Chains A and B, each alone.
Chain A
Amino acid sequence: MIAILGLLVGAILGLLLEPEVPGALQPYLPIAVVAALDALFGGLRALLDGTFDDRVFIVSFLSNVVIAAVIVFLGDQLGVGTQLSTAVVVVLGIRIFSNAAAIRRHLFRA
């Protein structure tokens, strides 16, 4: 519940404040968002598996975001930023899908 509330509050804050993303962060924000979404789905799956732990969730959430951003940053420095961010999005997308499938099996047995 608190997670859904938090998402809504964050979205409303973003809509109201309409902040400018600093130029240095611009390539990393989308990747960070995708990584956070992956962590969220992972957390939900762990909850249903009965292995959910707050500390693990928080750490995995933050580390996911940071590692994704660092990978893209590294890619930018190496000159393969575009390709590497594509790779990160693909991997995280696959994980989101597999987590979503596990959640679905828990809730609907299908």
Chain B
Amino acid sequence: MTAEGTPPAGGEDATTPVPDRTVGGSWRTLGRALAPRATKAQLAVGLLAVLLGFALVVQVQQNRDEGLATLRQDELVRILDEVTQRGEELESEVATLRAQRAELVTGTDTELAAREAAQERARVQGILAGRLPAVGPGVHITLGVTERPIPPLTLYNVLEELRNAGAEAVQVNDVRLTASSYFVEGPERVVLADGRTIEPPYRWRAIGDPSTMASALQIPGGAMAQVRGVGGTTTVTEMEEVEVTATREPVTPQFATPVPPPEG
């Protein structure tokens, strides 16, 4: 197919020399061939070379420009298959992720509701246990001392009367009174409430129904009557808004644990 090994067709072109088998001879042959001569054969060779250069550049450019256009049918089919398969994989992934997202959204809703319920419970129990400050309608009570101190039992009766009348948060001076509160007589007839000294006059603040608490305190033979009986002065004021600001941290139960809920 090539000129290699082909015997020279003599007589056509006299430029083909007798082979010179030395290095210098080879270079000379090359030099002679490079010298331009305007023969028909040289023209034809030049034309073919133009064609080759042209085709080379065109192909290189084509190869650089085109992506899929130069590929064969079976290659295109294979690529299409791959793309389709990849698309299906991605679609199933989308479905999985959608399901996961829906699950998470539902989970978040449930969790949110649970958290809100827990917060509401914490608020209610915080007020009842004296952990949180509270505000609402109620009464102010001031118990003044004239000559004799008011015994702790009488003060305790006031607290009990308030509880009976539905007081939800009670504070005396700066001590928050809760379910475990007590009054005792300390040394030198000082009154202790929950272990803290309180000095007269005793300023009570109670949140609850003002009229119920006021009338409960004022009934004949009730708490106020007892205070007056030991020589104290009493003032009961119904208020639109009473602030119970004192708080106390509930003690973690040491012995009692909740009864586990019944099975089933």
Contacts and interface: CB of A to CB of B under 8 A. Distances in A.
B37 to A, nearest CB: 8
Grouping DSSP codes into helix (H, G, I), strand (E, B) and loop, the A interface class, with mixed when no group exceeds half, is helix
Nearest to A85: B72
B: contact size bracket: 35 or more
B220 interface: no
B70 interface: yes
Contact of B59 (A4, A29, A53): A29
A45 B54 contact: no
A53 B52 contact: no
Interface string A17-38: 0110101001101101100111
B113 interface: no
A9 B69 contact: no
A: contact size bracket: 35 or more
Contact of B2 (A3, A32, A39): A39
Given A14-B61, A26-B70, A30-B59, A39 B1 contact: yes
Nearest to A79: B74
A6 B46 contact: yes
B36 to A, nearest CB: 5
Given A6-B45, A14-B57, A21-B59, A63 B50 contact: no
B13 A53 contact: yes
Nearest to A37: B52
A53 B2 contact: no
B33 interface: yes
Contact of B17 (A13, A50, A54, A62): A50
Contacts of A47: 29-30, 33
Interface of A: 1-11, 13-15, 18-19, 21, 23, 26-27, 29-30, 32-33, 36-43, 45-58, 60-64, 67, 76, 79, 81-82, 95, 99, 106-109
